[in-house]
A and B are shown apart, each in its own frame.
Chain A
Amino acid sequence: MKRFGTLLLASALLLTGCGTDIPVTQQESSSAETTTEPDFMAALANDGYDIDLTTLGSNMMYGQVFDMMNDPDKYMDKTVRVTGNFNYYQDPAGKQYFAVFIPDAAACCAQGMEFVLADTSAVYPDDYPEDGELITVTGNFSYYTEYTLNYCQLLDAQIIPTVPRKEDTTNEN
Chain B
Amino acid sequence: MNNDILSTLQYYFTYPFVRYALIVGLLIALCSSLLGVTLVLKRFSFIGDGLSHVAFGAMAVAAVAGITEKMYIIMPVTVGSAILLLRTGQNTKIKGDAAVAMISVGALAIGYMLMNLFPSSSNISADVCSTLFGSTSILTLKKSDVIVCIIFSIIVILAFLLFYNKIFAVTFDETFSKATGIKTDGYNLLIAIITALIIVLAMNLVGSLLISALIIFPALSAMRLFKSFRSVIICSAIISVWCAGVGIIVSILASTPVGSTIVLADIIMFLIFWVISLFTGRAKA
Contacts and interface: CB of A to CB of B under 8 A. Distances in A.
A26 B19 contact: yes
B143 to A, nearest CB: 7
Contact of B139 (A15, A19, A39, A63): A63
Contacts of B44: none
Interface string B196-214: 0000000000000000000
A43 B255 contact: no
Given A59-B139, A59-B252, A106 B129 contact: yes
Nearest to B238: A12
A1 B21 CA distance: 34
Interface string B1-28: 0000000000111111111111100100
Interface residues of B, number: 44
B139 A18 contact: no
Given A40-B16, A63-B139, A108-B133, A23 B23 contact: yes
A89 B24 CA distance: 37
B139 A4 contact: no
B14 A36 contact: yes
Tell me the interface secondary structure of chain B in the complex. Answer: helix
B130 A108 contact: yes
Contact of A11 (B26, B142, B242, B260): B242
Nearest to B241: A15
Contacts of B155: none
A134 interface: no
Interface residues of A, number: 37
B170 interface: no
A122 interface: no
Given A26-B19, A59-B258, A108 B225 contact: no
A59 B19 contact: no
Interface string A1-42: 100100010011001001100110110011000001001100
Interface string B121-146: 00101100110010110011011001
Given A11-B242, A170-B255, 11 more contacts: A26-B19, A26-B20, A36-B16, A43-B14, A43-B15, A60-B252, A63-B18, A70-B140, A106-B129, A109-B136, A110-B126
Interface of B: 11-23, 26, 123, 125-126, 129-130, 133, 135-136, 139-140, 142-143, 146, 225, 235, 238, 241-242, 245, 251-258, 260, 276, 280
